[in-house]
Amino acid sequence: MPGPGAHVQFEQQGSELKAIQVVREARSPIIVSIQRALFTLGIVVSSYHARPSATRLVERLVIERTDGGSIDGALTAKTKAAILPIVLESHR
């Protein structure tokens, strides 16, 4: 789990990873960095929503594989491992 001021929630349906929600005490979006990391894994962002407030930004990314398959098993672990360092680094 990222440090204070940053939170990542991975939304799953059964064993399949469906979405990622990132909450940070920052006003600049992190989607570009996350999208690059996901693309290297063969994953694309199919839907993106950002909700800013005075002190934080909530970003929700719905994801899917480029080949139409499900994001589960080892790919779920790789996805989480790719995203967490990006969020941690952006919080520094």
Residues in CB range of 82: below 8 A, 6 or more apart: 37, 38, 40, 41
- Provide the pLDDT for residue 3: 45
Detail the DSSP E strand segments found in the chain.
Answer: 6-13, 16-24, 43-52, 57-65
- Provide the pLDDT for residue 28: 87
Q: Which overall architecture, per CATH, does domain 6-91 show?
A: 2-Layer Sandwich (3.30)
Provide DSSP, 65-76.
ETTS----THHH
Distances (CA, A) of 29 to 1, 18, 37: 19, 20, 15
The pLDDT > 70 percentage for the chain reads 93
- Provide the pLDDT for residue 12: 96
Helix (H, G, I), strand (E, B) or coil at 19: strand
The chain-wide mean pLDDT, for the chain, equals 91
What ranges do the domains of the chain cover? Answer: 6-91
- Provide the pLDDT for residue 90: 77
Confidence check: pLDDT of 2 > 50: no
